[in-house]
Amino acid sequence: MIEKNVLTDFSSTVSEPLIDPSTYIHPLAAVIGNVILGKNIMVSPTACVRGDEGQPLYVGDDSNVQDGVIIHALETEEHGKPIESNLYEVNGKKYAVYVGKRVSLAHQVQIHGPAVVGDDTFVGMKTLVFKSSVGSRCVVEPGVILMGVAIPDNRYVPAGSVIASQADADRLPAISDDYPFKNLNKGVIHVNTNLAKGYLKASKTK
């Protein structure tokens, strides 16, 4: 389902999702409102990217939004005025949620803005990212909760961790050559970009 958002006192503009033609949206996924999806993205069944409260939501090229993922955000406008505390600035523009290039959001991940996920990062199954930024080239293992923190580049977050203070975030281990999941994201990106191309082609031949 792809549809516009509605007018409210926290959304003064009706927006239709901007989706690159090379991106595949499964019929059982929902993309709503002020959403920008780049090239070669796979949006899997039951995923929901809902830009009707916090806006805009952005997902970069070659990323994947897997089954059951939710991308949503706290309101970014009140009676026509921006709520700056609920926005992140990336490359000179402000976003409620910004997901970079070649990012994997695995099954049932919740990215609840304000939030940023940097390029080449893997976010594991059933993880919550809320009011947080995750750097580039990170691995967030399954079942993690990140709240109100900034994860530096090239770090991994052990499975099941709750990181709710910046001191804990700064102590997270760096990804070394012998870290077993160092190259996990590359394989996931390869699979999902190919799935996007395949499903898109198949949908045009029905």
pTM of the entire structure?
0.96
Output the pLDDT for position 79: 86
Q: Which is catalytic among the residues 3, 16, 53, 141?
A: 53
Output the pLDDT for position 5: 94
Residues of the chain with pLDDT under 50: none
Active site residue 84: no
Burial level of 47, CB count in 10 A (0-12/13-18/19+)? buried
Where does residue 192 fall: left (phi above 0), alpha (psi -120 to 50 degrees), or beta otherwise?
Answer: alpha
Output the pLDDT for position 178: 97
**Structural domain boundaries in the chain:** 2-204
Active site residue 16: no
Output the pLDDT for position 205: 80
Output the pLDDT for position 71: 99
Output the pLDDT for position 157: 99
CATH code: domain 2-204 is: 2.160.10.10
* Residue that has been written with the tokens 């523009």 in this structure: 93
Output the pLDDT for position 74: 98
Output the pLDDT for position 206: 63
Q: Which is catalytic among the residues 75, 77, 84, 141?
A: 75
